[in-house]
Structure 1
Amino acid sequence: MPERSATLERARPPQPSRPGPVSLPLGLLKTARPRQWVKNVLVVAAPAAAGELFSRHALSQLAIVFVLFTAAASAVYLINDARDADADRAHPTKCRRPVAAGQVPVSVAYAVGGVLAVLAPVAAAVLCTPLTAALLAAYVGMQLAYCVSLKHVLVVDLTIVTTGFLMRAMIGGLALGIPLSRWFLITTGFGALFMVSAKRYSEAVQMAGSSEKLGATRALLTEYTTGYLRFVWQLAAGVAVLAYCLWAMESGGTANGSLLPWRQLSMAAFILAILRYAVFADRGTAGEPEDVVLRDRALAVIGLVWLAMYGLAVTDW
């Protein structure tokens, strides 16, 4: 009997605790997922692709857009954790999330998330452009729909997460009035799909043979096969490479004033980066994209070489 009681005690999820005056702000910050904010650096993608990144106006606008997109993403995290608080308390790891643990009351998470969700698009309309505000509002609406129901719909869940990355890459261009080329949209969109599906594939591979663990980690993964997810990331990688090469080959030879054909040379670094990333996808170890890049020194070096070549290409150096 004592052993059974001890087992039940260990299995019982932690009970919510009362938040203190210091723990509440810290809990809200933790729920906003600061580690995920690095993804919002993608707001510089369109201006960088157009070679219009380093003016004072561009940098100030992009700083504002970064903050507003971070606020919008934080709103989604807060509302999602408030909605899933009861389920998270029964989860072996999610029970430590501030809302599930009682560090942040559910009502407070809903309230702060709702304020941020409204404030971000309104501030974008005042400080940036109407298109920027519209995209932020669309992002918040799409992500909330994902939290409520769309994350349980096959293929749609992959599309929503991919579109979130694409919106990050687009919003900087919209804020600065930079036209978004078809090659930029195709390469960015399918590059994001490649990383998202590679991560899903890795999760499925790591949890293969244990449907209980798989469902607890991400319930919809039980509906996908590893063969299908492998097909998706391979298809996405191929389309991203093709679109990038078509962009690079649009202008033959060197651009005016360029010493070398940097656009064409950058294809080699881009393809090498995709192939290197695919090694981790194939092994089933492709987690968060930023973790993959920071963990592998060779991939980080290839990425830096590609950035240098791309920068020289768009600035016609």
Structure 2
Amino acid sequence: MLAAFIRALRPVQWIKNVFVLAPVVFAQRLADVAALGRAALAFAVFCAAASAVYLWNDLRDREEDRRHPLKRHRPIAAGVVPPALAAAAAGLLGALALAAAWRLGDAVLALVAVYLGINLLYSRWLKRLVIVDVMAVASGYLIRVVAGAQAIPVAVSSWLLLCTLFLALFLVFSKRRHELLLNDGGQRAVLSHYSPAFLDQMINVVTASAVVSYALYAVDDATVARFGSDRLVWTVPLVLFGIFRYLYLVYQRQEARNPTETVVTDPPSLINLLLWALMVLWITVR
């Protein structure tokens, strides 16, 4: 049962929490041991908070998940992890996340509380409201970046925040399109309000906005002055490839798995991400 319980925590989804680490990298604080430790703690806080949310959602939706061809294999829906254990673990992880966030300061504590609150509202109500459902999920990415900045603490560029917001919307709209094409509307009622054509328009808007925001951040005078170089613009092609590859996986592969799960097992995406990370580190730590 231990393996099933760990699977219920969705550790593969913890990759989303790398957004928490963006401020410590772009603020050039990687050599600051104290800042690095606080950023790592903030990362752990959101791993615990995210797992608490996943457990709670799976617990609430277990009856519906049992009628889904893929989700019925989730540990709680399959009956491998008892509901009582899932509920206790969700409460404990949520409490631990808040306690650890408190050690990082009132601002981080408030942000984690807001993150948990939005997800609870999403589970009960917001997931049924068209467009609002996407905005609610995307807000989690933005909260991660702001919390990572507050944990150090350091100011974060407005361009970086905008890029995060648009990238998050791109990921969530793409996920909705993937779900719609898999005929998931029987379980996710809000999909009846979406269509492939409408989602394609939304994806086009936020894709362009994310790329432009990142490019403007890379060439912004404040960014060039901070890094002492304009080399960050060299990473734009890697960002473009990453987005294009993700679109390819969503539109051409159309696998049954969640696009995020597909990306973390896609060699070209992983190699591209590694190259981008190495280039950013080379530029920011010089």
Q: Residue 119 of structure 1 is aligned with which of 92, 96, 115?
A: 96
Query: What's the CA shift for 1:94?
Result: 2.8
Q: Structure 1 252/144 Cα, relative in aligned 2: closer, same or farther at 3 Å?
A: closer
TM normalised by structure 1 equals 0.79
Residue 269 (structure 1) aligns with: 238
Query: What's the CA shift for 1:35?
Result: 2.1
- Equivalence map 1:1-317=2 (5 Å): 23=1, 25-125=2-102, 127-205=103-181, 207=182, 213-216=183-186, 218-251=188-221, 261-283=230-252, 285=254, 287-289=258-260, 291-292=262-263, 294-297=265-268, 299-315=269-285, 317=286
- The one-letter code sitting in structure 2 at the alignment partner of 1:283 is Q
SS in 2 for 1:139: helix
Q: Structure 1 111/276 Cα, relative in aligned 2: closer, same or farther at 3 Å?
A: closer
State the alpha-carbon separation in 2 of the partners of residues 48 and 254 from structure 1.
15
Bigger radius of gyration: 1
- Structure 1, unaligned stretches of length 5 or more? 1-22, 208-212
Q: How many residues align?
A: 284
Identity over aligned pairs, percent = 35
Are the counterparts in 2 of residues 262 and 310 from structure 1 also a CA contact under 8 Å? no
State the alpha-carbon separation in 2 of the partners of residues 256 and 30 from structure 1.
41
State the alpha-carbon separation in 1 of the partners of residues 130 and 226 from structure 2.
48
Q: Structure 1 35/303 Cα, relative in aligned 2: closer, same or farther at 3 Å?
A: closer
SS in 1 for 2:254: coil
State the alpha-carbon separation in 1 of the partners of residues 132 and 204 from structure 2.
18
State the alpha-carbon separation in 1 of the partners of residues 34 and 224 from structure 2.
30
Instruction: Give the CA RMSD over aligned residues.
Output: 2.7
Alpha-carbon deviations, 1:221-266, whole Å to 9, x = none?
23201011111111111111111222222239975995x6302323
- The one-letter code sitting in structure 1 at the alignment partner of 2:202 is V
SS in 2 for 1:99: coil
The worse-fitting range, judged by mean Cα deviation, of 115-124 and 152-161 is 115-124
Q: Structure 1 296/202 Cα, relative in aligned 2: closer, same or farther at 3 Å?
A: farther
The worse-fitting range, judged by mean Cα deviation, of 277-286 and 51-60 is 277-286
State the alpha-carbon separation in 1 of the partners of residues 20 and 227 from structure 2.
29
Are the counterparts in 2 of residues 76 and 140 from structure 1 also a CA contact under 8 Å? yes
TM normalised by structure 2 equals 0.87
Q: Structure 1 262/78 Cα, relative in aligned 2: closer, same or farther at 3 Å?
A: same
